[in-house]
Structure 1
Amino acid sequence: MPRMVSFIEAGRAATVDEDSRPLADDEVRIRTLYSGISAGTELTAYRGTNPYINKKWDEDRRLFVDGATSFEYPVNGWGYEEVGEVVELGSAATGIEVGDVVWGTWGHRSETVQKAVEAAKRVLKIGVDARIGIFSQIGAIALNVVLDADIHVGETVAVFGLGVPGQLVAQLARLNGARVIAVDGVASRRELAKQLGADEVIDASAGNVAERIRDLTGGRGADVCLEVSGNHRALHEAIRSVAYNSRVCVAGFMQGEGAGLRLGEEFHHNRVQLVCAQISGVHPGLQHRWDEYRLQRTFIDLAESGRVNVTDLITHEFGLEAGGEAFALVDTATTDVMQVILKAER
């Protein structure tokens, strides 16, 4: 019987049974090889801080409203970093073969059924590390930040937060022609960013980050700051660090009220532009050419070619049956925890 990870209640996950279903003619069955745990959005659902669990999202008015919720526990099969092998074809499935390795989004489950036409667009190149496939969505999120940032060759970009998405953002910003300053309080993450191409690293825990960035830019400040930590204080420091009349792109999934964010200071006096970089859309000037699939496909192409390094971000691997243990680790993450993956048992 197929298995999946379920958030039973806030702070507790377990691996449970899931019903299998027959294929339609135009579908394929995919056996999961790996799935990756997001330490951002997924963790908010695991912890119970996600606004969808505490309020209701009104799709028509695009507002969160009190008095109801969009999701309730148990939350089953959450996740968006998956890769698997095609093991069965529907009678009318074309363009794909048994044995093809497919990347996509189907949650922490041992198998999924997908439309053949969609799976065929997401086949990994033969011979590459299958684990690359788990980065399609988080890579798209990172690429979307860089598109929102509108980086130009020769500009200085400061990246705040060097978890998995921050490491990807830093690499993509450098590919886009930027000089990258990477900021984090964890020494091992700064060292990894340096190994992956960051030009400068700054220890956030030492303080005076904005002052150091201005020293590195002749007093001007960064041309653009990319906030990927989800921390309000980091956002405030990013605002302090950016040049006059410049942009801060915010990709971190902020939770709760904005403690430490003082908008009457540099934000107000330096005319700082705040841009939300969120995967539900792309920059308005690009939406006629870019969509979520193109973001995903582009990132996977970069990873397959080795222009972006993703496998060095993987630090821990658990079996799918140990999903509860894996989420507990991410929830209480020590400094050596980066990308945690689940490997489905055969």
Structure 2
Amino acid sequence: MGKLLVLEQPKKVGYEEYEERELLANEVRIQTLYTGISAGTELTSYRGTSPFFNKKWDATNRIFEKETETSWTYPLKQWGYEEVGKVVEIGKDVQEVEVGDIIFGTWGHKSNHIAEESFAKDRKLHKDLDPICGIFSHIGAIGINAILDANIHVGETVAVFGQGVPGQIVTQLAKLNGARVIAVDLDDTRLAFAKKFGADIILNSGKCDAAKEIKEITKGLGADVAIEISGAPRALHEAIRCAAYSGRVVSSGFIQGEPKGLYLGEEFHHNRINLVCSQISGVDPSLSYRWNRLRLNHTVMDLQKEGKLDLKGLITHTIPFDEAAKAYELLDNATEQVLQMVLAL
């Protein structure tokens, strides 16, 4: 029997057992080793704030509709997107995947996953990487996608608003792109991590006017690029405030509800700010003939292997899968300093 983590209702997690079927000839069985928790997107489901619980997403027209029927309802059984596991069984026709191979991917918070050979073949983890590094395939791809949308040039100043796990990844990647990076957050511990992993300057926006500080640091020019990846409307407003005239602001955070604290009639309007949405369901159309989701995933793994990206260092908590309720409570209540939370099976 397999075991599945279920979100029974807001802020209540439980488990459900499921029957493990026999493999088809072209399939493999993956035993999950680690599954990471996204402290951003997943908490919107945990808290019930995701728009999918309140509206219906019309995939054809790509709009949310206000209807009595919603896209998601509780109990939620398909959630989680930071998984890595070991192949424990292969179908009789499988030739390019072996028992013992470590596979990264997205299959949700569950103990086992059945995948086609092609899926597993394309997602083998480098043998010299710690398997736990595999959990970053999707969240790392989100970070790289934000960097692609930012269109950073060598020597530019990039301000990154939000230093949770996605922000930490973006900070490291912006540095790799040759930028001077200013990391902004309300939490000194997160800022210390950002400094450790490459930020040139750190600013606590609760203790200063971050946008004004950035203008002074850049001798009045402002940040060439500002990336908001916290999901806080006020952070997006500050990212806009700090940007240079006609500068680029990338909105990558998952903002829910009405954006309190965002004033588009101020700096956005008067400084002709270019506001770009970055979202993992697609890449910049001008890059789409070269970049896709799988390339984003593999780039994350390659950069970790080459020692250019330190994501394992962002893991602050590893908790047994059977204690998931504790993990979500820690993230939700911020009773401890948590960056990347991982459930171990």
TM-score normalized by the length of structure 2: 0.98
Q: Secondary structure at the match of 2:152?
A: coil
CA distance in 2, matches of 1:197, 1:94: 42
Residue 288 of structure 1, CA deviation: 1.1
* Number of the residue aligned with 2:231: 230
Q: Secondary structure at the match of 1:206?
A: coil
Deviations 1:108-147 (A, max 9, x none): 1001001111101111121321111000000000000000
CA distance in 2, matches of 1:138, 1:19: 29
* Aligned partner letter, 1:49: T
* Number of the residue aligned with 2:50: 50
Deviations 1:180-205 (A, max 9, x none): 00001111111111110111100111
* Aligned partner letter, 1:4: L
* Number of the residue aligned with 1:66: 66
Deviations 1:85-114 (A, max 9, x none): 000000111211100111000011001001
Could you tell me which runs of 5 or more consecutive residues in structure 2 were left unpaired when the two chains were aligned. Answer: none
Residue 167 (str. 1) matches residue 168 (str. 2): yes
Could you tell me which runs of 5 or more consecutive residues in structure 1 were left unpaired when the two chains were aligned. Answer: none
Deviations 1:202-243 (A, max 9, x none): 011113111100111111000000001000011100000000
Runs of 4 or more off by more than 6 Å in structure 1? none
Deviations 1:41-73 (A, max 9, x none): 111111111111111100111110011201111
* Number of the residue aligned with 1:30: 30
Q: Secondary structure at the match of 1:342?
A: strand
CA distance in 2, matches of 1:335, 1:153: 37
Whether contact under 8 Å (2:6, 2:13) holds in the other structure is yes
Whether contact under 8 Å (1:35, 1:108) holds in the other structure is yes
Q: How many residues align?
A: 344
Residue 19 of structure 1, CA deviation: 2.3
Q: Secondary structure at the match of 2:287?
A: coil
CA distance in 1, matches of 2:234, 2:152: 24
Residue 11 (str. 1) matches residue 14 (str. 2): no
Residue 335 of structure 1, CA deviation: 5.5
CA distance in 1, matches of 2:339, 2:268: 31
* Aligned partner letter, 2:164: G
Whether contact under 8 Å (1:95, 1:120) holds in the other structure is yes
Q: Secondary structure at the match of 1:329?
A: helix
* Aligned partner letter, 2:211: A
CA distance in 2, matches of 1:35, 1:287: 29
Whether contact under 8 Å (1:15, 1:324) holds in the other structure is no
1:46-195 equivalences under 5 Å are 46-67=46-67, 68-195=69-196
* Aligned partner letter, 1:28: V
Q: Secondary structure at the match of 2:175?
A: helix
CA distance in 2, matches of 1:269, 1:334: 41
Whether contact under 8 Å (1:4, 1:77) holds in the other structure is no
CA distance in 2, matches of 1:127, 1:242: 41
* Number of the residue aligned with 1:268: 269
Residue 208 (str. 1) matches residue 223 (str. 2): no
% identical equivalent positions = 51
Whether contact under 8 Å (1:15, 1:320) holds in the other structure is no
RMSD: 0.9
Residue 260 of structure 1, CA deviation: 0.5
Q: 1:136 to 1:319 in 2, by over 3 A?
A: same
Whether contact under 8 Å (1:15, 1:322) holds in the other structure is no
* Aligned partner letter, 1:11: K
Whether contact under 8 Å (2:330, 2:336) holds in the other structure is no
* Aligned partner letter, 1:175: L
CA distance in 2, matches of 1:202, 1:43: 25
CA distance in 2, matches of 1:146, 1:197: 16
**Comparing 294-303 with 162-171, which one deviates more in the overlay?**
294-303
Deviations 1:277-305 (A, max 9, x none): 00000011101111111111111111122
Whether contact under 8 Å (2:128, 2:305) holds in the other structure is no
Q: Secondary structure at the match of 1:168?
A: helix
* Number of the residue aligned with 1:245: 246
* Aligned partner letter, 1:52: F
* Aligned partner letter, 1:17: E
Q: Secondary structure at the match of 1:285?
A: helix
Residue 333 (str. 1) matches residue 334 (str. 2): yes
